[in-house]
Amino acid sequence: MIGADAIIKCLEAEGVSTVFGYPGVAICPFFNSILDSEIQTVLIRTEQNAAHAASGVARMTGRPGVCAVTSGPGATNVITGIATAFADSIPLICITGQVNSELLGSDVFQEADITGTVESFVKYSYLVKNVNDIPRVFKEAFYIANTGRKGPVLIDIPIDIQNAVIKNFHYPEEVNLRTYKPTVKGHAVQIKKVIKELERAKRPIICAGGGVLLSEAEEELRGFAEEHGIPVVSTMMGIGVMPTEHPLYYGMVGNNGKAYANRAMNESDLLIMVGARVADRAVSQPDLITRNKILVHIDVDPAEIGKNAGPSIPLVGDAKHIFQDFQKEEFSCDYEEWIATLNEYRSTMEKKRTPNPNYVDPAAFITRLSEKMQEDGVYVADVGQNQIWSCGYHIVKKGKFLTSGGMGTMGYSIPAAMGAKTAAMDKQVIAVCGDGSFQMSMMELATIRQHNIPVKIIVLKNNYLGMVREYQHYTYKDHYSVVDLSGSPDLEKLSAAYDIPYLRLNNMEHVDEVLDAFLAEDNTMLLECMIDPMDLVK
């Protein structure tokens, strides 16, 4: 057995079913050995999307997604995908081929110091210099990626190590990491303190972030909120923790969120932040969430607590464990009055849009789409105006909502949807992007065709880089610079070129028929919606 075979054995032992990748000489031993395995390979059309696709897998399965690329440009291309996953704490295993270990550091063809380059975007990285280390390194990498605060781990393997003979392959049962021991269980004293505050509070609120989804604590959180009637808001990454139409859910916070959600958070007297970073887009003024209120900050990463806002009660641990502990506590509370206030905010503060009837109204369209989607369907939003509309108007029922929140990487939706679909073939997966973000990933239409990955794609076309245009509209008084997308391809012809069925929606008149046709079958289809180029999210 050689190193490359050992890598495949490790992936099999971890239950990996799909590897997204792009070959080159330095990773060829790996792609040669994978042919003898059940693991499916998907040839992505650019390496960045291999990481996005793996991210889609991870977010559907709760297990690290895997991508494999070659050395040099292959490795550097994948960095944006890794950084995107890192910003959202998505577990990835990223395997990069490397030049012969004896040539390392001599600037040979396609050599890049990838472990050094990617350092600030990975949870950990390995450069494997001994073939016998492969089983231990992979065991550790999967463990590190998927425990504590999750994140990407990169494993760089020189081609000679992939080709070296490994004696006695044995995949370790357990990891032995002296230096890495994440705290999972919340401190009992702190938990009691939170319960005590809940008993005292008149206006409590839970703000759920992406960490709740990563620890799969949705049910616990929802159960706890329902039992005691505690209202919930979420960050962008926390969308999906609560069904959108749940009576206790008051929408997404932040400068692109719902006004009533922000008001609810600011007027609360007890704010329980869970699995959220208190980053600038969700909380633009951290002092507002500490002023006149008790802030409880729950996070598995102690470094997040106190980074942007000093909490009254820090609570380090995994959200699932902590909410299980909360559920064991009994206490009396009555927040009826607070709920009534919030309901009034919700019914009176929803922003009224004045859509242009000549175009598709993205807000109404997205709501209509979510009504027609399967209950457990997966909605993958891209980045830009389309993302803000998706966050604001998509109705999550039992499905998932995926997007690139922390990094805001355009082009995320199509590859992530591909990953999500390969991980859950029985689910409806829809990527919704703008015409800018679509063109950042449209090469993946070939991958979709080649591997028959039936994801549905919606392009909200407004002929502009809308989010930046909107910024220029407000900040530079319509002095538009480098945001016009003229020259974009005719999507009908493009779809035909890829042999992908195409539909167009010009305005809201035929929205039902078109959506019914679009969603009728579990196949790939591209739906282009014509949006008013001057439409604004704010």
Partner 1 sequence: MLNSLIDIMQASCYIKNTVAAPEGEQLQKYERYGRSFMQKRVFQLLVDNTSGVLSRISGLFSRRGYNIESITAGVTADPRFTRITIVTSGDDDILEQIEKQVGKLVDVRDIKELDPEDSVYRELVLVKVKVDPEKRLEIRQGVEFLANNFRAKIIDVGAENLIVEFTGNHSKVNALIQRFNEEYEVLELARTGITGLGRGIENVTYIED
The CB-of-112 to partner 1 minimum distance in angstroms stands at: 15
End-to-end CA distance of the chain: 60
The CB-of-303 to partner 1 minimum distance in angstroms stands at: 4
The CB-of-16 to partner 1 minimum distance in angstroms stands at: 22
The CB-of-197 to partner 1 minimum distance in angstroms stands at: 23
- Give, in order, the Cα–Cα distances in Å from 240 to each of 74, 312, 369, 395: 34, 27, 16, 9
Alpha carbon distance 235, 274 (integer Å): 10
- Give whichever of 116 and 489 is closer to partner 1, judged by the CB atom: 116
Residue whose structure tokens are 């065991």: 139
State the DSSP H helix or E strand holding residue 450, giving kind and residue range, or none if neither: helix 444-451
- Give whichever of 287 and 478 is closer to partner 1, judged by the CB atom: 287
Considering just the CA atoms, what is the radius of gyration of the chain in Å?
24
- Give whichever of 100 and 488 is closer to partner 1, judged by the CB atom: 100
Indicate the burial class of 138 (C-beta count within 10 angstroms; 0-12, 13-18, 19 or more): buried
- Give whichever of 113 and 269 is closer to partner 1, judged by the CB atom: 113
- Give whichever of 173 and 287 is closer to partner 1, judged by the CB atom: 287
- Give whichever of 223 and 302 is closer to partner 1, judged by the CB atom: 302
The CB-of-299 to partner 1 minimum distance in angstroms stands at: 11
The CB-of-157 to partner 1 minimum distance in angstroms stands at: 15
Residue whose structure tokens are 């927040």: 335
- Give whichever of 124 and 171 is closer to partner 1, judged by the CB atom: 124
The CB-of-437 to partner 1 minimum distance in angstroms stands at: 28
Alpha carbon distance 346, 354 (integer Å): 19
Contact 149, 209 (CB under 8 A): no
State the DSSP H helix or E strand holding residue 518, giving kind and residue range, or none if neither: helix 511-519
- Give, in order, the Cα–Cα distances in Å from 334 to each of 105, 324, 338, 489: 66, 21, 9, 58
Q: Cα 232 to the chain's mean position, in Å?
A: 20
Question: C-alpha angle 376/379/381, rounded to 5°?
Answer: 165
- Give whichever of 176 and 348 is closer to partner 1, judged by the CB atom: 176
Q: Which residues bind partner 1 (CB under 8 A)?
A: 115-116, 119-120, 123-124, 127, 144, 176-180, 285, 287, 301-303, 306-307, 310
Q: Which of 332, 331, 335, 329 is nearest to 189 (CA)?
A: 329
